[in-house]
């Protein structure tokens, strides 16, 4: 079976890079939640995919049984490390290099490289994906756009709701031992997809999960994960979304997606729109 062959059975052969799944994975999560809440595939190296909120919450807290150790730490130290070792200053890199871990041991420079890589990856694609999804939403849902232009006091709940609905980040784990969940054994050495976006659409947890409700009062979404690896930049991300969206609405409250069929979405671990043609009607 080629990794790119069409999917017949999502429960046993899902493909997170299938074009339909990349465009809108929510119908697949709905189907799996009902029929096969912990799905498995051999595609792309093999993995397990939970879709229920409770299961994602359980799995994300299984540390160290499910490990997220970062393969990027094996990359060679770049010049920035050597420069900082030769000429330490009071900046972030020098502080990490001079620091100790939770056992009081010096932090390996390779691990510092991993932390810097993680910060760059975790901090950039994530926020422009979530801001892009929000602009796509308002550019295709005029009633919501008009409401935000008229009621800017809704931004705090609206941002949480956009994070829930368009949660951009799906992380992976490696099972360091056999793990049981909902009658399924995830064998040691298997990959598990931490499906935070799917958990955010679980009807057992959220009323009307497939609607964007800009003033949703209770919203315990897991767009930022949960447990000890919960996003370290969550409040920075919220601030970036708040500033970007308020500034956009202050300056150009009247806009629309001009060619919805031309919009493209990035698949994989960070989901968001990559090409969104926008028209500003009041400027024409
Ligand atoms: C909307 C934007 C963002 C979303 C949705 C998001 C989401 C997430 C999620 C789901 C995780 C948990 C991963 C896991 O359980 O393995 C995570 C981890 C992390 N995020 Fe974010 N993130 C965002 C923005 C940022 C920003 C702006 C930064 C920093 C500049 C950042 C830094 C990190 C770091 C360092 C971790 C790893 C924490 C750990 O493993 O202990 N994130 N993020």
Q: Is residue 71 over pLDDT 70?
A: no
pLDDT tens-digit series, residues 140-183 = 999 999 999 999 999 999 999 999 999 999 999 999 999 999 99
Around ligand 1, the residues with Cβ closer than 6 Å are 60, 68, 118-119, 122-123, 126-127, 130, 168-169, 171, 194, 196, 223-225, 229-233, 236-237
Q: What is the dihedral of CA 148, 153, 155, 156, to 10 degrees?
A: -160
What domain range includes position 61? 14-283
Q: How far is the CA of 38 from the centre of ligand 1 (A)?
A: 24
Those residues whose C-beta lies under 8 Å from the C-beta of residue 266, and which sit 6 or more positions away, are 22, 129, 272, 273, 274
Is residue 8 assigned to a domain?
Answer: no
For residue 34, what pLDDT is reported?
Answer: 95
Q: What is the DSSP string of 198-265?
A: HHTT-TTTSSSTTS--TT-S-----TT--GGGS-TTHHHHHHHHHHHHHHHHHH----EES-GGG-EE
Does some domain include residue 9? Answer: no
- Domain presence at residue 215: yes
Distance 93 CA to ligand 1 centre (A): 19
Question: How far does the centroid of ligand 1 lie from the alpha carbon of residue 122, in Å?
Answer: 5
pTM given for the model: 0.90
Number of domains in the chain: 1
Determine, yes or no, domain membership for 30: yes
Q: What is the CATH number of the domain that holds 114?
A: 1.10.630.10
Mean pLDDT confidence for 86-113: 91
Per residue in 43-64, pLDDT tens? 988 999 999 999 999 999 999 9
Q: Is residue 220 part of a domain?
A: yes
Residue 24 lies in a domain: yes
pLDDT the model gives residue 65: 95
Whether 153 is covered by a domain: the verdict is: yes
Q: Is 3 part of a structural domain of the chain?
A: no
- Which ligand 1 atom sits closest to the C-alpha of 241? 1
């Amino acid at each position: 079976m080629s990794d790119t062959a069409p999917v017949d059975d999502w429960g046993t052969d899902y493909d997170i890079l299938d074009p339909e799944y990349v465009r809108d994975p929510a119908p697949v999560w709905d189907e799996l939640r009902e029929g096969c809440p912990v799905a498995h595939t051999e595609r792309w190296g093999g993995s397990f995919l939970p879709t229920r909120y409770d299961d994602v919450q359980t799995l994300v807290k299984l540390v160290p049984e499910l490990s997220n150790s970062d393969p990027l730490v094996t990359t060679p130290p770049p010049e920035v490390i050597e420069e900082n070792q030769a000429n330490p200053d009071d900046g972030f890199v020098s502080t990490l290099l001079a620091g100790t871990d939770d056992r009081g041991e010096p932090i390996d420079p390779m691990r510092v490289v991993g932390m810097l890589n993680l910060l760059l990856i975790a901090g950039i694609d994530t926020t422009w994906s979530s801001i892009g999804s929000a602009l796509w939403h308002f550019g295709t849902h005029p009633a919501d756009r008009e409401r935000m232009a008229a009621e800017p006091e809704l931004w705090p709940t609206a941002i949480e709701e956009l994070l829930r609905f368009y949660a951009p980040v799906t992380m992976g784990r490696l099972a360091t031992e056999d793990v049981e969940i909902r009658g399924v054994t995830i064998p040691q050495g298997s990959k598990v997809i931490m499906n935070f976006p799917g958990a955010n659409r679980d009807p057992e947890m959220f009323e009307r999960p497939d609607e964007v409700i800009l003033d949703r009062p209770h919203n315990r979404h897991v767009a930022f994960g949960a447990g000890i690896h919960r996003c370290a930049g969550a409040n920075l991300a919220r601030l970036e979304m708040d500033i970007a969206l308020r500034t956009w609405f202050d300056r150009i409250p009247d806009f629309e997606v001009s060619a919805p069929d031309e919009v493209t979405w990035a698949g994989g671990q960070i989901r968001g729109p990559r090409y969104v043609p926008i028209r500003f009607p009041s400027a024409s």
